[in-house]
A and B are shown apart, each in its own frame.
Chain A
Amino acid sequence: MKYRIRHVTRYNYSEAVNLCRNETCLLVRETEHQRCHNSVLQISPEATDIHERSDFFGNRRTHFAIQQPHDTLTVTAVSDVEVFPRAYLQKPEQSHPWEEVVEMLRTQRTPDIVAVMPYRYASPLVPLLPPLADYARLSMTPGRPLLAAAIDLMQRIYRDFSYDPASTTIATPLAEVLEKRRGVCQDFAHVAIGCLRSLGLAGRYVSGYIETLPPPGRERLIGADASHAWFAVYLPGNGWFDFDPTNNHQPLEQHITVAWGRDFSDVSPLKGIALGGGKHQVVVSVDVARQPTPPLLLQQQQQQS
């Protein structure tokens, strides 16, 4: 499936900003399941000091500065991405029991295992609270295959937590999300990651987009025109498997991955420091447009999930 994604972030300041420096994590990375044909940033007013690099997690991170007085800042990322159907060769019921995976992660020191270690511990937005382990154990029952348990965890979060954009902000700690059982995609991803890590598994945060064009006669998926987030779990020997607890399915062709990290703080799409500026107001719009391709059996895929 081919997509063109336009992600516009616009800051309006009440007073002029003399100088600002920013970091974006907006350019789309390549993955096993997607090819990024083109991904560019348009910045207005004109930016200087633009440098792109690959960060610790392999994401495409861009640093830029605006060194002249300005009262609005617009950053537009336009990406042409092709998403391939995910194989999911591994049958969930045939994956290793989760305890075995924990033991492998704990004892092995192969380069692959060392590479996923950053995803095994508490991170800035995901403290390993005791209730997380309790919640996780209901899915991670003794001897259960890891992927089957992860699917169950995803389904439980989908059932137990209400999607409620008014209930939380990014400053809402995970403990409160857990207690209120309400939140948005970031929170659900953080809850799942916390659950996995509390038991010694590796869980990572994936940020990206989701296609929201509804197939004829079907309901739109939640989250039209916005960034999206979900989680992935690591299965040694097989790699990472994605799960979307907000929509209760495993991403297929409609999830476009931008970046991943330990939690949201590693992949914040745009952050900056401004000198001056008074009060600011931010407007974000995301547009995920399917590009003409041979027709696909969308109907069938939906049923699979």
Chain B
Amino acid sequence: MISEPETSISTATDADIYRAIVKAAGTGGYPEHWQRLQQNLEKMGPRVHTRFREAQRLLRENGAIHNVFEQGNNTRAWQFDPLPLIFSVAEWAHLDQALIQRAQLFNLILQDIYGPRKLIENRLLPPELVFPHSGFLYPCADRSFVQPQQLNLYSATVAKGTDGNFWVVDDHVRPPFGAGYAMETRVIMTRSFPQLFEGLRVHSLAQFFRAVRQCFNQLARHNQEDPRIVVLTTGPVDPDYFEHAYLASYLGYPLVQGGDLVVRDSCVWLKSVDGLRQVDVIFSRLADDDCDPLELRSHTGGGVPGLLQAVRRGNVAMINPIGSSVLANPALMAFLPGICRYFLGTDLNMPSIATWWCGQPRECKYVLENLDRLIIKPIQPLSNLPQTTPGQMTSAERQRWGELISANPRLFVGQEQVDYVAFPAYEKKTLTTRQSLVSLYLTAHNDSYLVMQGGLSRVAAAGDNLLVSGQRAGSIKDTWVLTLEPHQQVNLWLRSAADVALAPRFVSLPSRAAENLFWAGRYAERTEQTARLLRSVLVKLREVKEFNDPDDHLSLNHLLQALTHVTLTYPGFVGKDAQQKLDDPRAELLSLIRDIDRPGSLRSSLRSLGRSAAAVRDLLPEDAWRMVDQMQSWNPRVGRALIGSGRMYDSVQQLVLQLSAFSGLAYENMARETAWLLLNIGRRLERALNLIDLLNETLVPCYDSATEARIMETVLASCNSLVVFRRRYRSFMQLSPILELLLLDENYPRALACQMRQLKKHISELPQEANVPTVGQDEAIISTAMEQLLATDHKALIRQISDTGTYPLLEALLADQKLRLQQLSDSLTQLYFSPTLALQQFGSPLREMAL
């Protein structure tokens, strides 16, 4: 190919690149903008490599190319290619017009299919592509379905042929949308490669998103001035969850799941912490079938029962309209030219890739005879299809395909593999050329459509064919549309984005988001607490090894036992085989650090934090999310023998710092709204509970004075309070001042009283829904706990000693406080989180009763 992997940009084989660019331009010349890009690249020199690594990291961290819910990270290993695909002004003018025509055409087809069906009557569309197609939804086709079937969003994937002409290879009307990825790619480009834009006038993407917002707003039947719009997602398990969260956050809409919405009185309502809020428009990222389990054949059991009825009554609008999946059918391409002439009286401005629908005998014969050369696609989602590459089929595969097609010809199309242009690309530190496809996005706008002036380009890996390998393969790159207008400079998108952002107003927090924030707070604290305690244990482990002091042994044992209690990883260091484990704690410690499937282990808590945070990533500050995401890969590779060495300590220490950074970022960057309150309530509650468990295990038993001093020192260390204690009390370790500091000091952020005071304050600030019977219960519980704590005299707590050698008054206080905190957690769950009840479906099988 082009050059050795280690060769830098400046010495790449210029001639090859030059040829590619000339070919890409399609005019035989060397266009100015490609020259300019090349100059910009040369100016950057070796910095391209470092910036490339940064961009790749950003892409990964933002979650665009990996998902915390997926097993293994390699399934979506998109690479970033910093070389943009550039469209000249003239080229774009043609594309823009052709795409608008195509969107209008699909809109007309949709309206006809769910309306008069003239296309069928006039033989322009075979009925087999409509009535038995899985995307044609009969409940949406009855006359009572008043919703105008306007296609709101449309996207086309386009290839540039070697002759310079463009071809549509794919039409999209349903998720994945992709515009979010396009935006993300542009953000990364402007951040990591601002130099490449120099001297080039590139259109911003902001105008498109403004139009999207306008389009959504206009769909609201009620509440036009301030419509409530939500983004409906399957949740973090969805491979495109990144885009859902990204779009929700960029457009300023709440991100919700089916369980967050409920239909009452034929309207859709969002369950939020301050009660039910009516929803006017739903930007749905669910498959059509999954939207309403009452009327449609839901595969996931998700969705919102009654949603179709709400749409039918005109009380909520869906984007795209439910039923548009009938357009997700590659066979339509074969009939578009005729349909275009019928509806618009002109020819298609841009051809589709050649398509043969097997429902026609002649076409079917052609496909069967040319199986090797064609790309075979089903016209609707089908499971269990063989995975094959055209031209590389074995004879058994050929036979299998032949059988499949012959058994159900109407379900398949054959498409030609077009030979499309290779554009300059960056791969493994070198410039090379790779075939690229570009996805372009349109939104309904003022009775027509508006095209995003940019897009998402995908680059095939060497020897790969994107037409075959699909959405997830290869690299992604930015797409630049040049403009003559001087004011449309590249960095304008940042400024324009401000217009797009939502005007400040209180946005209700969905109950599920509230619950996830609460748990993100709790898991963040739990992880931090476990990490701190482990850090103390590791220090003690080294001391024991070095000095072999029996007192050190004893305090190590207590710390280990505290670890079991705090992490709830029984039997651990307190069960039957405890002595054996205390004698050699290394295996158990290693498991508590690394065993991700063991509840209570450091990595398990870390993963729980990741999942809760992922579910609300649209609400977290970008950097805070990034920090959580980064920590997901934390996994110290230290063997059992080396657990007492500095390496494990350093690893845990690094995690403690990252966790602190996360709390700091969340604390510093979130507005003091409900979301922040819940995150903090979770954190305070967990810290209080952890502290109680730790004190109960370590300070309730009485010791001889030497041991006591060591234990107290470890307790203070694991509470991060050693320095404060020494500075404040300047004395030897004594129990009573320690209790004063850790239990009763309202102003010390690690003390129990401080957690209680904060909890009380935050809870009083939460929105309240007055007609819930248990309203105010949470405040009552925390007030009682607070009063009990304030009435406590720390010296009195250790006056009595029981026969078993414990401080019973301290023990009783801790038990009381713990109980109240648990009650508080339950009360919050009831008041704000409205746990989703299981849906059950009945009725289809009235079997036993029918003849």
Whether A56 pairs with B851 at a CB distance below 8 angstroms is: no
A138 beta carbon closer than 8 Å to chain B: no
Q: Give the residues in chain A near B144, CB-CB below 8 Å.
A: 53-54
Measured in the bound complex, the distance between the Cα atoms of B132 and A203 in whole Å is 14
Residues of A within 8 A of B122 (CB): 109
Residues facing B in A1-50 (CB within 8 A) are: 9, 11, 18-19, 21-23, 48-49
A118 engages B131 (CB within 8 Å): yes
Q: Which residues of B contact A104 (CB under 8 A)?
A: none
* Residues of chain B contacted by A273 (CB below 8 angstroms): 293-294, 305-306, 839-842
Tell me how many residue pairs across A and B have CB atoms closer than 8 Å.
Answer: 146
Known: A21-B263, A114-B127, A273-B840. A56 touches B141 (CB 8 A): yes
- Inter-chain CA distance A279–B122, complex, in Å, is 52
C-alpha spacing A272/B845, complex, angstroms: 11
Residue of A222, A229, A282 with most partner-chain B CB within 10 A: A282
Q: Mark B808-846, 1 if CB is under 8 A from A, else 0.
A: 000000000000000000000000000001111111111
Inter-subunit contact B313/A51 (CB<8 Å):
yes
Q: How far is the CA of A274 from the CA of B295 in the complex (A)?
A: 13
Q: Are A21 and B305 in contact (CB under 8 A)?
A: yes
A117 to B141, CA, bound (A): 14
* Complex CA–CA separation, A222 to B848 (angstroms): 14
Provide the bound-state CA to CA distance between A186 and B850, in Å.
Answer: 8
Give the Cβ gap from B750 to chain A, nearest Cβ, in Å: 42
Q: Does A165 contact B (CB under 8 A)?
A: yes
Q: How far is the CA of A130 from the CA of B406 in the complex (A)?
A: 12
Q: Inside 8 A of B844's CB, which chain A residues have their CB? A: 170, 265, 268, 271
B113 to chain A minimum Cβ distance, whole angstroms, is 12
Assess whether A121 is in contact with B843, with CB atoms less than 8 Å apart.
no
Determine which of B117, B297, B847 lies in contact with A114 in the assembled complex, contact meaning CB atoms within 8 Å: B117
Closest chain-A Cβ to B474's Cβ sits at a distance in Å of: 36
Contact, CB under 8 Å: A56 / B294 = no
CB contact under 8 A between A269 and B846, given known A23-B295, A109-B120, A274-B840: yes
A222 CA to B850 CA, complexed, in Å: 11
Q: For the complex, what is the distance from the CA of A181 to the CA of B533, rounded to whole Å?
A: 69
Q: Does A239 contact B (CB under 8 A)?
A: no
Residues of B within 8 A of A130 (CB): 407
Per-residue A-contact encoding for B206-225, CB less than 8 Å = 1, 0 else: 00000000000000000000
Taking a contact as CB atoms under 8 Å apart, the answer to whether A268 and B121 are in contact is no
A111 to B294 CA separation, bound complex (whole angstroms)? 31
Q: Which residues from B are CB-within-8-Å of A57?
A: 138
* 65-121 of chain A: CB within 8 A of chain B: 65, 67, 109-111, 114, 117-118, 120-121
Judged by a CB distance under 8 angstroms, whether A137 is at the interface is: no
Q: Say whether, besides A114-B127, A271-B294, A65 and B264 are in contact (CB < 8 Å).
A: yes
Decide if B264 touches A67 in the complex (CB within 8 Å).
yes
* Selected contact of A120 from candidates B131, B143, B312, CB within 8 Å: B131
B262 at the interface (CB under 8 A from A): yes
Contacts of B839 in A (CB 8 A): 273-275
A223/B264 contact (C-beta < 8 A), A54-B144, A117-B131 known: no
Q: How far is the CA of A222 from the CA of B851 in the complex (A)?
A: 8
**A49: B residues at CB distance < 8 A:** 264-266, 309
B837 lies within 8 A of A54 (CB): no
A interface footprint on B665-699 (CB within 8 Å = 1, 0 otherwise): 00000000000000000000000000000000000
Among the listed B117, B128, B264, B851, which residue makes an inter-chain contact with A226, where contact means beta carbons less than 8 Å apart? B851
Residue contact A268 to B850, C-beta cutoff 8 Å? no
Task: Tell me, yes or no, whether B53 is within 8 Å of chain A by CB.
Answer: no
**Inside 8 A of B850's CB, which chain A residues have their CB?**
184-186, 226-229
Inter-chain contact B121/A109, CB cutoff 8 Å: yes
Bound-state Cα–Cα, A277 to B309, Å: 23
Residues of B within 8 A of A (CB-CB), count: 45
Is B761 interfacial (CB 8 A cutoff)? no
Q: State A93–B834 Cα separation when bound (angstroms).
A: 66
Size of the chain A interface, CB-CB below 8 angstroms: 63
Cα of A265 to Cα of B351 in the assembled complex, Å = 40
In the assembled complex, which residues on chain B have CB atoms less than 8 Å from the CB atom of A163?
Answer: 851
Please name the residue on chain A nearest to B127 by beta carbon: A117
In the complex, B849 has a CB within 8 A of chain A: yes
Q: Do A22 and B843 have beta carbons less than 8 Å apart?
A: yes
Q: Judging by beta carbons under 8 Å apart, are B843 and A272 in contact?
A: yes
Q: Is B621 an interface residue (CB 8 A)?
A: no
A117-143 interface with B by 8 A CB criterion: 117-118, 120-124, 130
Q: How far is the CA of A290 from the CA of B838 in the complex (A)?
A: 43
* Contact (Cβ within 8 A) B132 A122: yes
With contact pairs A67-B264, A109-B122, A114-B117 given, residues A169 and B845 touching in the complex (Cβ less than 8 Å): yes
B837 touches A226 (CB 8 A): no
- Nearest-CB distance from A72 to chain B (Å)? 13
Provide the B118-153 mask, 1 if CB < 8 A to any CB of A, else 0: 001111000110011000001101111000000000
**Residues A21 and B306 in contact in the complex (CB < 8 Å), given A111-B121, A273-B294, A275-B837:** yes
- A286, B848: Cα distance in complex, Å: 13
Indicate whether A271 sits within 8 Å of B306 (C-beta atoms), given known contacts A114-B120, A114-B127: no
CB-defined contacts of B407 to chain A, threshold 8 Å: 130
Q: Report how far A145 CA is from B849 CA in the complex, Å.
A: 36
**In the complex, what residues of A have CB within 8 A of residue B266's CB?**
49, 51
Chain A residues within 8 Å of B132, by CB: 121-123
B298 to chain A, nearest CB (A): 10
Q: How far is the CA of A23 from the CA of B848 in the complex (A)?
A: 20
- Measured CB to CB, the closest approach of chain A to B717, in angstroms, equals 49
B840–A284 CB distance below 8 A: no
Indicate if A297 sits at the interface (CB-CB under 8 A): no
Contact A121 B142 (CB under 8 A): no
Residues of B within 8 A of A124 (CB): 297
Instruction: Point out the residues of chain A lying under 8 angstroms from B842, CB to CB.
Output: 11, 271-274, 280, 282
The interface bits of chain B over 291-319 (1 if a CB of A lies within 8 angstroms of the residue's CB, else 0) are: 00111010000000110010011000000
Give the Cβ gap from A235 to chain B, nearest Cβ, in Å.
19
Nearest CB of A to B326, in Å: 13
Query: Is A156 interfacial (CB-CB < 8 Å)?
Result: no
Residue of chain B at shortest CB distance from A58:
B142
- Is A55 close to B, CB under 8 A? yes
Shortest C-beta distance, A194 to chain B (Å), equals: 14
A186 and B844 CA atoms in complex are apart in Å by 12
A114 to chain B, nearest CB (A): 6
Q: B847 contacts which of A18, A23, A54, A170 (Cβ < 8 Å)? A: A170
Give 15 A-B contacts (CB < 8 Å), ordered by A residue. Answer: A9-B846, A21-B294, A22-B843, A48-B265, A55-B139, A117-B131, A169-B848, A184-B851, A226-B851, A227-B846, A227-B850, A246-B851, A265-B297, A269-B843, A270-B843
Task: Given A22-B843, A109-B120, A271-B844, output 7 extra A-B contacts at Cβ < 8 Å.
Answer: A21-B309, A23-B294, A49-B266, A114-B121, A121-B128, A226-B849, A270-B843
Interface pairs A-B: 9 shortest CB-CB? A271-B843, A121-B132, A185-B851, A273-B305, A170-B845, A284-B849, A223-B851, A53-B144, A170-B847
